[in-house]
Amino acid sequence: MVALFIFGMIASASVLLLRQTVEAEARSAVRLEEMGDIRRFSAIMAQDMTLMLPRPSRDAAGSDRVALMSGDGLLLGFSRQVPQIDPQPGSSSLQRVEWSVSDGRLTRAIAPKADGATTQAGVQILEGIASARLRFRDRQGVWQADWRPQRTDELPIAVELTLVQTGNAARPLVLQFLVAGGGA
Residues whose CB is less than 8 angstroms from the CB of residue 8 and which lie 6 or more positions away in sequence, other chains included = none
CA 94 – CA 92 distance, rounded (Å) = 5
CA 41 – CA 1 distance, rounded (Å) = 60
Residue 51, judged by CB atoms within 10 A of its CB (0-12, 13-18, 19+), counts as: middle
Each of the 184 residues of the chain gets a pLDDT tens digit; together they read 888 888 888 989 888 988 998 888 888 887 888 888 889 999 999 999 999 989 888 888 888 888 888 887 789 999 988 877 766 776 678 889 999 998 889 999 998 888 888 888 888 998 889 889 999 999 899 999 998 888 888 899 999 999 998 877 778 989 999 998 665 5
- Choose among 122, 120, 80: nearest CA to 101: 122
Q: pTM to 2 decimals?
A: 0.78
Residues whose CB is less than 8 angstroms from the CB of residue 105 and which lie 6 or more positions away in sequence, other chains included = 124, 126, 127, 129
Other residues' Cβ atoms within 10 Å of the Cβ of residue 46: 14
DSSP sequence for 143-173 = EESS---SSTT---SEEEEEEEETTEEEEEE
Residue 7: the pLDDT is 86
Q: Which domains does the chain have, with CATH numbers?
A: 41-183 (3.10.610.10)
How far CA 116 is from CA of 57, 84, 87, 120, in Å, comes to 8, 20, 19, 13
